[in-house]
Structures are given as C-alpha cells and as structure tokens.
Amino acid sequence: MTQHDPVRRRFLLGGAALGAGALLAACTSNDSGDDNTNTQTQGGNNASPNANTAPGKKVTIGFSAPAADHGWIAAITSNAKAQAAEYSDVTFTTVEAGADAAAQRSALSTMISQKPDVIVLLPHDGKELNAFGLEAMKAGIPVVNLDRAFPDALAYRLQIKGDNYGMGVAAGNYIAEQMKAKGVSNPIIGEIAGIDNLELTQERSAGFKAALAAAGLTVANRRAAGFTVDTGQAEMSQLLQALPKMDALWNHDDDQGIGVLAAANQANRKEFLMVGGAGSKAAIEAIQADNSVLKCTVTYSPSMASSAISLARLIAQGKGMSDLVELQVPKEIILASETITKENASTYLPLGFS
C-alpha cells in the first residue's frame, strides 16, 4: 500500500462501494426460486373440509410469538398467518414479541387493550408470561397457549404443545428397533442435543435415554450444539473424531441437522444411521430420497400453530371440535411425536417446515 495518492484511492474505494451496493442489492432477492416457502402447511387441514370450516361469527385473533432466529419459530409464525388466511371470518392481528419475555409482555398488554376475541401466544418463557395469561383471561379474552406451557392452569383456555419427552422416546425406540433388526449387539450411539440450558433439550434427552435404557442401550457421547447449522457441524465434526465408528446418532433438531449431515459428509462417514428431530422439509425430503445417513426424523411440528389458530377460532365462535362429542374445544392438546421414515415421508412432506 502506498501513501502517494490518497485522493485517487478514496475515489476508487467509493466507486467500488457503489458498484458493490448495486450488485448486492440485486442479490438479496430470495423469490426468484421456485420453492414457495409459506404455503406448505395448510394442506392437511384443507384436505378434509368439515362443518367447522364454514364461515361463522367474525372473530379477531391476536397472535404473538418470539422473533424468529430459527426455522422452527419462523414456521410457527408463518403457519399461523397462513392458517388464519384460510378463514374468511378471521381477522388476524399480530404483535412483535421483541427480544425477551419482558418485551413480549409489554407488547401483549397493548393487545389486551385492543380486545381481540382470542389470543394465540407462543411465550418467550411460559413462567414469565404466566401473569399475562391470567390478566388476559380475567379480562375475558381466552388465551391459547402454544408449546411453552403456563404453570398456572387458570392462565389459559387451551394449551397445545408438542411432546419433548415423547420425541426422545420415539427416537430412542426407533434406534433400538433398527439396531435389533441389524443385529448390532453393542451399538455405539451418539447424540447431538440442542441448547443445553433449555428445558426442552433436557426433556428430549431424558426421553431418549429412557427409551434406550429400556432396550439395554446407552449413549456413548452426547454433545450440545446451539440449534444452528454451524454449531451442529462443529460439534458433529468433533464427535466423529471421538467415535471413529458409530452405529446410530440422534440429532435433536433438523435445522442444526444440516450442519450435522455436512460434517458427516465432509468426514466421509456413512456407517451409522441418523435420526433427526422436529421434521423440517429438507429432512423429510432427504429421508424420502434415502441417499444420506438420515433415515428417520421424529416430529415436533410447527403445524401446531395452524391447529392453534383453527381451535382459537372455534373457541371464539363458541363451537366444539366436530369429531368430538363435547360442545367446546378441550383444554389441553399434546401432539404425539410421530416417527417419519422413508415409508411415510410423502404423507408428512406437506407439514415439513423450511
């Protein structure tokens, strides 16, 4: 680098920056591809129209979920939005939940003042937002709690959530079954968990451990990643070093699973079978194609947001679920964690999130 002509250099820099700006502005588009990201989830509901889908009383549904830093949360929001759009009698309003529980609470208090007919809420933290649930219920607005439970039963009208423990059990059972079928007597099993501090991670690992124990198996090495691709890859790359031969692996989250799979490919390791978690579209497609170590994933589906909107509408309209005898929607629904394999992948593909 020389000092002789700073003016000229500055000009060049400026020019480069401008050019780069123009070039880059053209590259931010994500729409010219052919995958439509927001429309894949509602197929299941539309497939079987029933009496409840007929337009009824006009209702307003307020919705709040944390800002998405992760595919699963993003899918929750987009699913909710898409499902609401299916109903002509639903007005859908949403508030940004901000960065933490406190921000979400303050955002929600403005929502109460707008008096929606029902609130669907994925809290940052169920314990911290429990008070809000009570407040809203007291104000006569039913609360539909998504996924992260309120400790107080009075704080919600309906709770709909996935089954973290069941997820671990499903993964464990699948692996135990496959090992037995392959005749591996003393299999080496790895686990890539999500963020270790989260209760959901601990529940998943507990279920996994219990299911394996029932079959007389144990986890040889468990690493905690960060629900992101790069952390998944990093942990997997080291796990593969620690376990030169592995028979099975459960990865808690399909998003970080992209990194886990990448690490396996980069290390050229194919001798094990891998089970995913959550049920992303990419994972289900990979299972269907059967060209990688990923053979199975256990669901923890963001489709629960779609169901939550549907049920919230029924609550607001005072209707029950038509297949049930009860005249009102039940108070608690826990989704079963389903096991997606090559055989049933095509059925689940529409529910996969990206």
Partner 1 sequence: MTESTAPETGTPSGATGNRKPTPNGTTPEPVDTSATETSAAEPTAAATTADGASVETGEAGTAAATTPPRKRAARSPRTTTSRARSTANPSNETPAPDAAGEPSASAEQPGSVSIPQARHAAPDEVDSAAPADVEDAPGDTVDGDEVGSAATPVQGGGGVVDDGAERPVVLRLTDVVKTFPGVRALDGVQLEVRAGEVHCLLGQNGAGKSTLIKVLSGAHQPDSGVVEWLGEQVRFANPQAANKAGIATIYQELDLVDDLSIGENAFLGHEPKVAGFVKRGTINRRTREILTRLGHGEIAPNRMVRTLPAAGKQVVSMARALSHEARLIIMDEPSAVLAHDEVENLFRIIRELTAQGIAVIYISHRLEEIREIGDRVTVLKDGRTTAASLPARTTPTRDLVSRMTGRSIEYVFPTRVNAPTEPEELLRVEGLGRAGEFDDISLTVGKGEIVGIAGLVGSGRSELLETIFGARQPEQGRIYVKGKALRPGAVGAAVRAGLGMAPEERKAQALLLGEPIYRNMTLSTFSKIAKFGFTDTGKEREEAMKVADQLELRPRDVRRPVRTLSGGNQQKVVVGRWLLGDTDLLLLDEPTRGVDVGARAELYQVIHALAAQGVGVLLVSSEVPEVLGLSDRVLVMREGRMVRHARAEELDEETVLDLVMAGSLMEGAPA
Partner 2 sequence: MTGLPAQTAPAVKEALGGGPEEKGGGGGSNGWWHSDAGEATRRNLGLIGVLAGLILIGIITQPELYGREGWWITNVWAILKLGATVGVVAVGMTFVIIGGGIDLSVGAIIALAGVWSTTVATQEMGTFFMILTALVVGVVVGLINGFLISYGRLVPFIATLAMLVAARGLAAQISNKQTQQTDNRTINAIAAEDFLGVPILVWILAVVVVLGWILLNRTTFGRRTVAIGGNVEAARLAGINVRLHTMMLYALAGLCCGIGAVMLTSIGTSAQAAMATNYELDAIAAVIIGGTLLSGGRGTIVGSLLGVVIFSTITNLFTLNALSTEVQNMVKGGIIVAAVLIQQFRFNSLSQFFKRNRITAAS
Nearest distance, CB of residue 147 and partner 2, angstroms: 17
Binding mask 24-53 for partner 1 (x = CB under 8 A): ------------------------------
Q: Which of 248, 171, 228 is nearest to 205 (CA)?
A: 171
Q: Report strand pairing: 339-341 vs 294-299.
A: antiparallel
Q: Decide if residue 98 touches partner 2 (CB under 8 A).
A: no
Contact (CB, 8 A) for 170 and 339: yes
Query: What, of partner 2, partner 1, none, does residue 24 touch, CB below 5 to 8 Å by kind?
Result: partner 2
Contact 300, 277 (CB under 8 A): yes
Cβ at position 14, least distance to partner 1 in Å: 19
Q: Any contact of residue 197 with partner 1 (CB under 8 A)?
A: no
Identify which range of 1-9, 36-44, 126-134, 336-344 contacts partner 1 by CB under 8 A: 1-9
- Nearer to partner 1 among residue 2 and residue 32 (C-beta): 2
1 part of the interface to partner 1, by CB under 8 A: yes
Backbone torsions φ then ψ of 327, nearest 5 degrees: -85, -10
- Name which of partner 1, partner 2, none residue 185 binds, using a CB cut-off of 5 to 8 Å depending on partner kind: none
If binding is defined by CB under 8 A, does position 8 make contact with partner 1? no
Burial of residue 237 (number of CB atoms within 10 Å: 0-12, 13-18, 19+): middle
Give the residue ranges of DSSP H helices in the chain: 6-27, 43-47, 71-86, 101-113, 126-138, 164-182, 199-214, 229-242, 254-266, 281-289, 303-317, 345-348
**Separation between Cα atoms, residue 163 and residue 244, nearest integer Å:** 32
**Side-chain half-sphere CA neighbours of 113 within 13 A:** 7
Residue selected from 60, 292, 341, 354 as contacting partner 2 according to rule CB under 8 A: 354
Q: Which of 4, 8, 29, 47 binds partner 2 (CB under 8 A)?
A: 29
Answer whether 174's CB lies under 8 Å from 296's CB: yes
- In the complex with partner 1, the residue whose CB is nearer, 10 or 180, is 10
Contact 276, 258 (CB under 8 A): no
Least CB distance to partner 2 at residue 266 (A):
4
- Is the separation of the CB atoms in 345 and 194 below 8 Å? no
Residue 124 DSSP SS3: coil
Shortest Å, Cβ 175 to partner 2: 18
- 234 contacts partner 2 (rule: CB under 8 A): yes
Does 69 bind partner 2 (CB under 8 A)? Our answer is: yes
51 binds partner 2 (CB under 8 A): no
Residue by residue, DSSP assigns 326-352 as SSS--SEEEPPPPEEETTTHHHHGGG-
Cβ distance to partner 2 smaller for residue 134 or 349: 349
- Classify strands 273-278 and 294-299 as parallel, antiparallel or unpaired: parallel
Closest to 211 (Cα-Cα) out of 246, 163, 243: 163
Q: How far apart are CA 139 and CA 176, in angstroms?
A: 50
From the list 87-95, 135-143, 237-245, 333-341, the region that binds partner 2 by CB under 8 A is 237-245
20 binds partner 2 (CB under 8 A): yes
Regarding 59 and contact with partner 2 (CB under 8 A), the answer is no
Total site size for partner 1, rule CB under 8 A:
4
When asked if residue 2 is in the footprint of partner 1 (CB under 8 A), the reply is yes
224 interacts with partner 2 by CB under 8 A: yes
| Residues at the contact surface with partner 2, assessed by CB under 8 A | 1-3, 6, 10, 13, 16-17, 20-21, 23-24, 26-33, 37, 67-71, 73-74, 196, 220-224, 226-235, 237-242, 244, 255, 258-259, 261-263, 265-267, 282, 354
| Residues at the contact surface with partner 1, assessed by CB under 8 A | 1-3, 6
